[in-house]
Amino acid sequence: MVREILVWPGPILSTRSEEVESVDAEVKALVADLFDTMYATKNGIGLAAPQIGVHRRVAVIDLSKGRDPKQALVLVNPVIERREGEVDDEEGCLSVPGEAEAVRRAGRVWLKALGLDGKEYCLEAEGLLAVALQHEVDHLDGMLYVDRLSALKRDLIRKRMKKLKSRRRSGASR
């Protein structure tokens, strides 16, 4: 089911999510909703549960945007165990539509998470996938990429997002 993606700023996006105890039917339904919602955006490569208003440590990533099922990643209780190097890549977020800024991240990460089968797996990633993993784990900690920008840049984006939200509320179209 396609759910509404919350737009920053807002308290729900900035709250830490709770660990999942077991990958039960409810978590599986949440994962399905995350994929449906992410694919419906056409350009999203990652989505975390708090972005659809659910405070569970669950996120999905698919760099192929639905074209290659092997790239669809399910992250339940993900933990980044090791980080190495530095990159400054431009990042965007489905909760901050229309914006993109360079963010400093580790260039390589080692991550541990549960999959949809409830089994733990380990993943070593670099490049775009490493950045996406760090971005999604941040969401589960109540942090967005804008929180990693300078106060000046963040305030400018906040103003634009507030305008966007008021336009959406009034039903006006661009």
Please identify every residue annotated as catalytic. 136
The residues pairing with 84 across neighbouring beta strands, listed in sequence order, are 108
Binding letters toward Zn ion, positions 54-93, x by CB under 5 A: ---------------------------------------x
Residue placing its CB nearer to Zn ion in the complex, 20 or 93: 93
Q: How many alpha carbons lie under 13 Å from residue 127 in its C-beta half-sphere?
A: 1
Q: Under rule CB under 5 A, which residues in 87-106 are in contact with Zn ion?
A: 93
* Phi-psi map region of 94: left, alpha, beta (phi>0 left; psi -120 to 50 alpha): alpha
Residue placing its CB nearer to Zn ion in the complex, 4 or 117: 4
Q: Are 59 and 34 in contact (CB under 8 A)?
A: yes
Q: How far is the CB of 114 from Zn ion (least distance, A)?
A: 21
Residue placing its CB nearer to Zn ion in the complex, 53 or 118: 53
Rg (the chain; Cα; Å): 16
Q: Under rule CB under 5 A, which residues in 3-32 are in contact with Zn ion?
A: none
